[in-house]
């Protein structure tokens, strides 16, 4: 009996309600299903540990991962700040691997903001998700508030990733979580910038320890100021 209970506790994961999950999964973007669920679970734990503190997402694109995180914010009565200049990362530009011509506007530029807004409206999350449209480094440098949870999924160039780590990791409160997407140990699995410029420096700093992972998602807890 005790063994069974332990097993149930081990596999238990807080899950997003099915309507919103369906909306998330039908939204353009790059967040795999299982990793979105793991993100939701981690953010829920951070909000429970540090009540009242906001959440930040760096890199929202069309709002796919934002649905999982916005629901957490709603359930915990906090705000999710969704940071993105909405001009797309390098790899989203025309001629690159992750280009989607549908998100190019009448002026020939990538603009995911209308898609993002639409996703938040359909998901009923406009009241808790605050658009922060601009450069993530500039916004992070001016940031004043501690956050319970920071999800970094912005640009994957080395300088951009390093800048996101430097601008945002200081704002994670002790006991809060820093989640990093697209962390690949081996170059053959994907670009190394999130691994080399965010994940490794966070661990090396001694301020963060790894608490969970799912696919390319790594979740780190801040343990010291
Ligand atoms: N989390 C999203 C995917 C994000 S893609 C999902 O679940 O699908 C990365 C996003 O980071 C892009 O929308 C791009 O516009 C944004 N981005 C890249 N570099 C940025 C920067 N320096 N400042 C702000 N946003 C940036
Ligand atoms: Mg990603």
* pLDDT tens column, 111-146: 999 999 999 999 999 999 999 999 999 999 999 999
Q: The tokens of 33 are what?
A: 């299903």
Cβ-contact 160, 194 below 8 angstroms? no
**Per-residue confidence (pLDDT) for residue 6, from 0 to 100:** 64
Pocket of ligand 1, candidates 34, 38, 66, 89: which has the most ligand atoms within 8 Å of its Cβ, to mutate? 89
* Cα 47 to Cα 16, 76, 91, distances in angstroms: 15, 7, 32
Q: Look at residue 173 and give its three-state secondary structure.
A: strand
The pTM of this model reads 0.95
Q: Closest-lying ligand to the alpha carbon of 69?
A: 1
Query: Within 13 Å, how many C-alpha atoms sit on residue 76's CB side?
Result: 27
Q: What spacing in Å lies between the alpha carbon of 97 and ligand 1's midpoint? A: 15
| Tens digit of each residue's pLDDT (9 = 90 or more) over 173-185 | 999 999 999 999 9
Reported for 106-110, long-range contacts at CB under 8 A and 24+ positions apart, including other chains, are 110/86
Angle (CA) 220-41-1 rounded to 5° is 105
- Per-residue pLDDT band for 97 (boundaries 50, 70, 90) equals confident
Q: Which CATH class is domain 18-222?
A: alpha beta
Pocket of ligand 1, candidates 23, 85, 194: which has the most ligand atoms within 8 Å of its Cβ, to mutate? 85
Domain boundaries, the chain: 18-222
216 Cβ closer than 6 Å to some ligand 1 atom: no
**Per-residue confidence (pLDDT) for residue 7, from 0 to 100:** 63
């Amino acid at each position: 009996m005790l063994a069974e209970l332990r097993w149930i506790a081990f596999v238990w994961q807080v899950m997003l309600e099915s309507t919103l999950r369906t909306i998330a999964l039908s939204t353009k973007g790059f967040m795999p299903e299982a990793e979105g669920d793991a993100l939701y679970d981690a953010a829920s734990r951070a909000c429970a540990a540090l009540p009242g503190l906001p959440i930040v997402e760096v890199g929202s694109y069309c709002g796919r991962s934002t649905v999982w995180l916005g629901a957490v914010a709603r359930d915990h009565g906090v705000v999710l700040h969704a940071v993105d200049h909405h001009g797309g990362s390098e790899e989203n530009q025309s001629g690159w691997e992750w280009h989607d011509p549908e998100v190019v506007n009448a002026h020939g530029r990538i603009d995911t903001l209308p898609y993002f807004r639409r996703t938040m409206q359909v998901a009923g999350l406009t009241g808790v998700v605050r658009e922060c449209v601009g450069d993530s480094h500039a916004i992070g440098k001016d940031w004043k508030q501690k956050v319970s949870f920071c999800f970094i999924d912005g640009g994957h160039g080395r300088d951009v990733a390093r800048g996101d780590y430097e601008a945002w990791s200081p704002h994670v409160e002790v006991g809060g979580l820093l989640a990093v997407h697209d962390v690949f140990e081996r170059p053959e699995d994907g670009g190394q910038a999130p691994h080399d410029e965010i994940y490794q420096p966070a661990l090396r700093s001694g301020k963060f320890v790894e608490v969970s992972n799912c696919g390319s998602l790594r979740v780190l807890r801040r343990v010291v100021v």
